[in-house]
Structure 1
Amino acid sequence: MVRRFCYSLLASTAALLFIVDHHGPFTTAQPLPWQRCNDTSGNFTEKSAYQANINRLATVLATNASSSPSLFARGAAGRVPDVVYALALCRGDTTNASSCASCIAASFKTAQQLCAYKKGASMFDDPCILRYADWDFLSNTTDNRGAYTAWSFDNVTAAVAPAFDAASARLVNATSEYAAADPVRRFGTGEEGFDDATYPKIYSLAQCTPDMTAAECRTCLGRIYRWRAPTYFAGKHGGRVFGVRCSFRFETYSFFSGNPLLQIPAPPGAPAPGNITPSATGQGRRDHRNRTGLVLAVALPLAAAVAVVLALTVAWICFWKSRRRAAHKDSGKPYSPSCPDDIQSIDSLLLDLSTLRAATDDFAESNKLGEGGFGAVYKGVLSEGQEIAVKRLSLGSTQGLTELRTELVLVAKLQHKNLVRLIGVCLEQDEKLLVYEYMPNRSLDTILFDSQKSKELDWGKRIMIVNGVARGLQYLHEESQLKIVHRDFKPSNVLLDSDYNPKISDFGLAKLFDLDQSQGVTSHIAGTYGYMAPEYAMHGQYSVKSDVFSLGVLILEMVTGRTNSSFNNSEQSVDLLSLVWEHWTMGTIEELLDPFLLGHHRAPSDQMAKLVNIGLLCVQDSPADRPLISSVNVMLSSNTISLQVPSRPTFCIQETEDHLHQYSDAYNRALKLQSSTADRSKATLSPNEVTLTELEPR
């Protein structure tokens, strides 16, 4: 069964290499609707609860979208494991509510025919777009992957092509800006005079889902145009990108209803006006379209070698999942994840090695951001100007391949503003490369623990960072379609963008939990001393409360400006947690706070004390005494909630009567465990933050 699936997997992956090319007239090209099937975790059965939830949403969303001023609706139906999430959007120029409702209802029906029994589907029709899945994609408004690209087969004449491309780009940009500024429908249409005998005018349309902010809409539209236009639209007199979150289209005929919302005069220096006036009738527009061939393509930068390696990687994933599925079958528990979601999540992320070599100047030493046990990280710039960070895993490293598989499967499925975004992956010529968004301020530890740079982090930024990483952890633990324990949460794995917004990175050590699983046990202890929870360091037991412990350490570091890990290899007599506890119980916590926070721009004393209290609650000895991450977020956001009184934290250094300082029994047992475990399984414990990943990530 597994072998048969892997053969079909190889075939389906290789099939993605082909571009569907229709050279005939428009009427012979693939008609709408265009569909994408199974961007999620598997199939459902006929007359199942999942199908009933789809049908329920079909009725609700069709009614809600057609009656909404934004022509948009989103929602969920059912409970896990049969919950369905969906959104529906009608084009902004739709004036008839019944046509909007009927399009959405028909799309739900068509999706269940064209994507029979698939739990996920996206439908692109006229005048509506639909998507449903069994995971909460609604929480991420910036995920526009899986878009369709189509363009006119005929070229404009060579003499006017440069001017036409410039004019169409100007119009699309202006229309996109108009759509982003529309607070209700995030929709815009435009017209621009071109003064050419054959193409006297250019028309455009742009739209985003109305739940996006203006900035998100602007970024989404700009990205899909920059990525597609140079490759597919140069010299073409029409093109479109169909995405669930944002779409645009331009043509040399009016294809939308009503007058254009934006009008741009002909650009200076355009070709001289001709004597032919195009027909304004619908028949004239139809004749023009029938002379236009379309090329339909999935805009994926695939290469044959990458596809084969990817197929083998995903086959490994499927084999792993098949073992988990068998274990669940034996236990009598339900099991929902399956392979197609991983395939769909990964295949849209493939990048060419040549592209990444060009972006990083062939991995020049001057572009290196950092290096660790599994390889180096390089800064790069793609051809369209996007800055990236390329994680280059060491050649021939089997551990690197394991980390890549883990990170690829998990990060590709995780979408949150406080998680670093995976842009792509490359598996060519023995290279194993992960490509992330570039974070200009690099990692938190490079600023927080630098006596000069730490002054960049005023109290407002520190609170923002703590709140952001806590929300990111809550997404991992409680809100994503997966339940994930990070296991290596620390300041060096918190990256900061240009505005110091935090994003959690490095999921190479992360563990995936089943929805009903509360903890796991491993003999392979991996992580960083100073941030590991005691039950994990001593017994290999990890859970979401392990990450809460790590967050507590980070919170105390943010307030004091001191790193906890430095005490593990230092001659200092007292570790950070002991210092904080001592000053907390003595009522002298201000003496331990970062002096910068007590200077000219003094932070509120009550807020600093509150953060210390929350940090101490997170580092309690027993996991049961630590709050859930959702409770931490409530405590952080509330000014009225009463906080519990913490107990003495674990791993404190005890002072004896002769003033000698020793590790507690718990820490000594952890150190002995490290030694014995290393002999058995080469456990990767790091007393000085040299972990399984790069020393200075991205």
Structure 2
Amino acid sequence: MAPLYWRLLAVLLLAVVPTSLAQKNEHTPFIDLCSTDSFTNGTTYQSNVNQLVRLVADAAASNDEGFHYTSYGSQPDMTFGLAMCYADVADSSWESCLSCLDAAAAWVGTWCPYSLTASVYDRCVVQYSDKWFFGVADLTLVALLRSLINAPDAPSMNQTRRNLFGQLTSQASGSLPQFANGTQSYVDSQGVSQVMYALAQCRQGLEPGECKKCLNFLLDELGKAMPSDTAGSLMGYSCYVRYNLTGSMSDTTSPESPPRAKWKLIKVIMLVSGASIPGIVALLLCLSVFRSFFLRWRKGRKKSAGSLTFFGGEAVEIVELEQETGPKRFSYNELAAATDNFSDNRKLGEGGFGSVYRGFLEEMGLHVAVKRVSKSSRQGWREFISEVKIISRLRHRNLVLLIGWCYDGVSDDLLLVYELMHNGSVDNHLYHLDPEKQLAWPTRYKIVLGLGSALVYLHHDTEQCVMHRDIKPSNVMLDASFNAKLGDFGLARVINDDGRRSRTTAPAGTTGYMDPDCMATGRTSVEADVYSFGVVLLETRTEKW
């Protein structure tokens, strides 16, 4: 633990550097964490990194959340990256957030030249890596700031802090934008009323369990490092916590600080009206009336749109997906262009659900697989909705990443966009006619471990247990490094009860991989997935089905 405390001491020393030095270079990272692995100057990976860090920084600066993550390039030189401003920085000084993002993108090459992975921190974070890391919490403690002023009643202050952060952790991990703040009052031992303000933030894209794990990690460290401080904050790459007794930390965002979007609007109004009070009041009244009419119009428009959307001759609610966050909604034209209008030359495979095509998204610089679910498919609208809603909440290295979806009501096609799996599915390798292209035993072992890891995550490490219900070799995909990734969640179901069992109206899955007990009773459970896993394990070993 000694190296960590020395690093935190260095952070505290940097926090008291004279203002003149801070003005000379406002956004200098407190700590740079660079990997020991490296790449060669002038390679494709270096070019991808340079493009990516600027892409994520610019995208985070251009949206209302100060956050963006994406990937760039194609394997084996694909790079993954994100940019994020800490919540209080973004809300109190949007200009500071913008300048930090701009500087941080430039610092990557300065502090971590030719490093395969890098993390740059000041008031924002810019990270990149050659490995996917979006859904997994990074439990690295980057910086600690504290008031060094003792609270008059430390036990009461600590109890209030625990209670307040307990509420904020549940709120932040429960819904987007994975940020919560609030206040709580208490009376100390001297009879003085105290008010505590706190905030908790997770990096967007984290699964709720990962967000909660990250925040709890920081809160444990907070209790050890600041048992009696009136104010303090801990910053990580995946989450951030901050608290203060009102007035104890001058630069802490107060509960009354306006959100960033509202503050930008107020500044525009003042410029337009020449800072005239009557003009400001009049404009605010007009905007209030306009907002009321707009919300009513949008609500009515969504309802009417939902009632007029059809798939396969049946009315469906597109609003059900529009209200979900996560995967991007693409236009049909975007995906048609990405796949050469779904050319047969781009076709990767075909099944009962429809066809899968290789595509390239120009705007994202990303190779993808586009699943086209036709209206004649046995996988209808309900399964399409289920797949998008369930998998969009899941983030794991052994699950296929859902990038987006499309349904425009004209072509009557349902389209799902996934990360491209360069080595296809396991079954294509198990039964390949060329012995040299069949899977080696170490690779098979690696695949089985990866599939098992995915099931542990689905059954035990998510907020709600997820049953896949269709585990088979054709649904286990392989990336460029032959890492197993479980896909096709069209038949998946979420179990809400603690028993992690559920009655279904009819058996679901593929004959030969289904648990006979579930087929006979109609009752399914996580054990049914384990049975299917056992069949896949046996098939991987024997190459027989």
So what's the TM-score if we normalise by structure 2?
0.47
Higher relative contact order (CA 8 A, sep 6+): 1
